[in-house]
């Protein structure tokens, strides 16, 4: 009998399975089978989760090569009882077979690791990490141990030290992190009632922090301090694992000798893609030179050089702050971050914190939102890497304008400085954009920057969320939106810098923040603000001229299909705001529908949005009280999310609506689904569909997990009378639940307010809704009593 998996490794936690392998040769007797059953029943009786397999060792070897999980479990096997000599024969046969199949197994390793990266490298697993299988978790240490057994015949991971390439590998720190994770895993199992639970879910985090002794501090809570420590250990294991596999490949699959790069610094030499020191005297300045050489030439640093560099920076690093050469070398790493691993190494060696002590406050700092998939320090480095990729044209296939805008920059170095420092304020109390803008001038002064560079970088940090917030929360067809942004930004160079920073920040944050839809909104805002700045007039252009131009273009497009009289009469019914805010192609479609819908109650045209899972709905109907809430209700019933809605009421009682919504869930039945939605919409506007009842039933059927997070979204409402010339803007934020947008729209309507435009942004964690409203007389809301009533009642819906 052998112990497998965590039992074999001697790291059973409270809820771990006890995995047993019974190895035999020949047919088992009835007596032996009965003995095995009695043993298993005994283990089950004491409430152990027991996994058992009974195999001959030939069967075991065959199964190991076809089942990756079984293979790795057997690699950790340990003799328990029975015939020890027979177990040794089994071991010899197993490892002999494995040795012959090393290449096949290596491919399985790579596939499994890729699947882990795809599954666990997401925002949800950053906020609630999996201690065992997640990136930087215990499984990374297991993989190193398995590779050591497979390729280097090392019984324990520490045995790899006998190879020179691993002589300086930081095993002590790795074991410290492993011990911390095992402690956390055991506590998790305890909190889960003794069952296996490896996901550090939000409700567990405060309890675990308390049990492990993390107390509230002056600037952060116990759970925040605990999660910062945890991410520190996860990041360390992840980095060491990457380092281990690179070094293992040097031994497993050595590259042929290469000609050294031309003009390499005389202090170094390149050996098989690795930069090593020629002499024995390493100074802190040579460490920076080594990083610069490796970064520019696509080389890695030798393990001995990394180990010596770590000691030198720790002991003598401050000497670098006295000379301009060191500062210039450091800035070269920031301005040309060609190799992310070299930049990460500079962080691990303490060089970034040496030149920028403020960076220490964001080291391993977790961000408690579903948007981020990295700690603040690694997100900052990823933003730098993304800016470099943009500059190299790596996104040109999908978004060619990124590279074009980058090429227009007069001071690209400023962009890389702000990319590294844009979130440095998160290490301090208060709004991080404002704190970062306060802090950054002293950082830049220390780095030798002065004059306009300091002013612009501080401005960019203070406003680095401006374009994202406006594009996702304001009506981009309202000319005043772009005018206000242009007034804040001031000039074209600053706009280019801010746009590229926003793009890189979004892409580095993760898929939720950088969805195709959000990037498209960002690009639309950029072009509109750029047009205003290029014209040199920071005010709305003449509205009368624009309306006449829109009407003329619309008439030209419709002549032939409809009479000039029909077109002119319908134009007389449409508001000036419509002609100012709606794109020509949407106006053409509205007029076509209105002039040909006859006795239809509601009709629409659907247009798929290119490069995004979004449908643009161009709709015409008879205006009804609460029209927006009814349409939202219908979309909700069909699992379609409203991203934005724009409602225009004509004098003759028609309504021209525009909605951007997510596509139906089943792409193979879209046409059928849209037909159902259309039929329900026609029923709803006639009040023949009981929306309240249907949405309540749907909410009961869909179980949203109760938000037990110690970091819940803030429920808020902000009233803005300055953002639009014609409407009061209600900006609402809170948690997510089924039908929330419908209930908000209903409550706003019940307050006697008319929704004319809405934009909604929601994820697993929170919802932000922006509503452009006016009162029954068509005016903004100025009465304090009504504003306060709106605040109270909308907050009531959010609760």
pLDDT (tens digit per residue) in 604-613: 999 999 888 9
Apex 681 CA angle, 678 and 686, nearest 5: 135
pLDDT the model gives residue 706: 46
pLDDT tens column, 607-655: 999 888 999 999 999 888 889 999 999 999 999 999 999 999 999 989 9
The predicted model scores a pTM of 0.79
Residues 8/183, Cβ–Cβ less than 8 Å: no
Q: Calculate mean pLDDT across residues 177-200.
A: 93
Residue 541 has pLDDT above 80, yes or no: no
pLDDT the model gives residue 368: 64
Residue 353 has pLDDT above 80, yes or no: yes
Residue 288 has pLDDT above 60, yes or no: yes
Question: In whole angstroms, what is the distance from residue 277 CA to residue 280 CA?
Answer: 7
The H or E element containing residue 660 is strand 654-662
pLDDT tens column, 224-282: 889 989 999 998 998 888 888 877 877 776 665 555 566 678 888 887 778 888 877 88
Of 35, 7, 32, residue with least CA distance to 19: 7
Q: What kind of fold does domain 104-251 have according to CATH?
A: 1.20.120
Q: Give residue 708's pLDDT band: very low, low, confident or very high (50, 70, 90).
A: very low
Three-state secondary-structure class, residue 331: helix
Q: Give residue 704's pLDDT band: very low, low, confident or very high (50, 70, 90).
A: very low
DSSP result, 358-423: GGGGGTT----SSS-SS-HHHHHHHHHHHHHHHHTTTTTTT-HHHHHHHHT-S-HHHHHHHHHHTT
Of 288, 364, 372, residue with least CA distance to 324: 288
- Going from the C-alpha of 414 to that of each of 418, 419, 433, 457, the distances in angstroms are 6, 9, 17, 6
Give the bridge partners for 618, in sequence order. 605, 658
Q: Where are the domains of the chain?
A: 2-100, 104-251, 378-535, 542-591, 592-798
pLDDT tens column, 391-402: 999 998 889 999
Apex 123 CA angle, 183 and 171, nearest 5: 40
Q: Give residue 750's pLDDT band: very low, low, confident or very high (50, 70, 90).
A: very high
Q: Which phi and psi angles does 443 have, rounded to 5°?
A: -65, -45
């Amino acid at each position: 009998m052998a112990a497998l998996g965590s039992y074999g490794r001697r790291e059973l936690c409270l809820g771990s399975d006890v995995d047993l392998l019974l190895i035999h040769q020949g047919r088992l007797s009835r007596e032996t089978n009965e003995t095995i059953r009695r043993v298993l029943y005994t283990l089950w009786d004491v409430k152990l989760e027991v996994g058992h397999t009974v195999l001959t060792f030939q069967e075991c070897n065959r199964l190991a090569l076809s089942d990756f999980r079984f293979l790795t479990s057997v690699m950790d096997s340990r003799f328990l009882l029975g015939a020890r000599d027979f177990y040794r024969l089994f071991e010899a046969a197993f490892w002999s077979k494995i040795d012959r199949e090393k290449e096949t197994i290596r491919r399985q390793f790579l596939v499994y690791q890729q699947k882990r990266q795809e599954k666990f490298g997401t925002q949800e697993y950053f906020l609630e990490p999996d201690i065992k299988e997640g990136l930087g978790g215990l499984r990374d240490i297991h993989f190193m141990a398995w590779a050591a057994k497979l390729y280097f015949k090392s019984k324990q991971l520490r045995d790899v030290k006998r190879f020179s390439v691993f002589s300086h590998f930081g095993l002590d720190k790795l074991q410290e992190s492993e011990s911390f994770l095992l402690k956390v895993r055991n506590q998790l199992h305890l909190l889960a009632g003794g069952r296996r639970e490896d996901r550090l879910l939000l409700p567990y985090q405060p309890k675990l922090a308390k049990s492990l002794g993390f107390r509230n501090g002056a600037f952060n809570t116990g759970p925040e301090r605990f999660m910062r420590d945890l991410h520190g250990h996860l990041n360390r294991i992840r980095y060491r694992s990457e380092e281990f596999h690179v070094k293992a490949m040097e031994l497993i699959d050595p590259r042929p000798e290469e000609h050294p790069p031309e003009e390499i610094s005389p202090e170094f030499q390149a050996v098989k893609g690795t930069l090593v020191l020629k002499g024995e005297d390493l100074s802190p300045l040579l460490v920076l030179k080594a990083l610069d050489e490796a970064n520019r030439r696509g080389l890695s640093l030798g393990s001995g050089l990394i180990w010596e560099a770590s000691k030198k920076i720790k002991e003598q690093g401050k000497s670098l702050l006295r000379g301009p050469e060191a500062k210039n070398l450091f800035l070269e790493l920031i301005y040309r971050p060609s190799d992310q691993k070299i930049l990460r190494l500079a962080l691990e060696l303490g060089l970034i914190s040496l030149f920028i002590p403020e960076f220490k406050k964001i080291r391993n700092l977790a961000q408690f939102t579903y948007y981020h998939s990295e700690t603040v320090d690694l997100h900052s480095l990823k933003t730098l890497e993304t800016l470099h990729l943009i500059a190299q044209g790596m996104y040109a296939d999908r978004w060619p304008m990124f590279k074009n805008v980058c090429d227009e920059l007069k001071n690209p170095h400023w962009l890389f400085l702000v990319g590294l420092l844009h979130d440095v304020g998160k290490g301090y109390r208060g709004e991080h954009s404002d704190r970062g803008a306060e802090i950054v001038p002293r950082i830049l002064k220390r780095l030798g920057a002065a004059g306009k560079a300091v002013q612009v970088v501080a401005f960019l940090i203070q406003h680095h969320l401006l374009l994202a917030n406006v594009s996702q929360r304001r009506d981009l067809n309202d000319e005043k939106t772009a005018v206000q942004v242009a007034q804040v930004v001031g000039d074209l160079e600053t706009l280019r810098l801010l746009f590229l920073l926003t793009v890189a920040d979004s892409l580095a944050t993760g898929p939720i923040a950088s969805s195709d839809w959000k990037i498209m909104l960002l690009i639309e805002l950029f072009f509109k603000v750029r047009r205003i700045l290029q014209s040199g007039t920071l005010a709305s252009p003449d509205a009368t001229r624009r309306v006449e131009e829109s009407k003329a273009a619309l008439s030209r497009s419709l002549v032939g299909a409809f009479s000039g009289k029909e077109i002119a009469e319908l134009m007389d019914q449409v508001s000036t705001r419509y002609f100012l805010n709606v794109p020509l192609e949407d106006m053409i479609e509205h007029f076509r529908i209105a002039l040909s819908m006859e006795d239809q109650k509601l009709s629409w045209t659907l247009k798929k949005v290119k490069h995004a899972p979004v449908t643009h709905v161009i709709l015409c109907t008879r205006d009804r009280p609460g029209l927006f809430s009814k349409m939202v209700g219908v979309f909700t019933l069909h699992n379609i999310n409203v991203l934005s809605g724009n409602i225009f009421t004509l004098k003759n009682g028609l309504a021209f609506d525009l909605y951007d919504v997510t596509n139906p869930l089943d792409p193979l039945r879209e046409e059928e689904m849209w037909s159902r939605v259309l039929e329900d919409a026609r029923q709803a506007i006639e009040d023949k569909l009981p929306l309240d009842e249907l949405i309540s039933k749907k909410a009961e059927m869909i179980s949203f997990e109760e938000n037990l997070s110690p970091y819940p979204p803030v429920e808020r409402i902000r009233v803005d009378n300055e953002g639009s010339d014609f409407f009061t803007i209600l900006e609402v934020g809170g948690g997510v639940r089924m039908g929330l947008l419908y209930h908000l729209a209903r409550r706003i309507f019940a307050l006697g307010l008319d929704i004319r435009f809405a934009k909604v942004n929601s994820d697993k964690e929170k919802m932000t809704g922006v509503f452009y409203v006016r009162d029954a007389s068509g005016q903004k809301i100025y009465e304090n009593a009504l504003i306060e009533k709106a605040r109270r009642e909308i907050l009531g819906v959010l609760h």
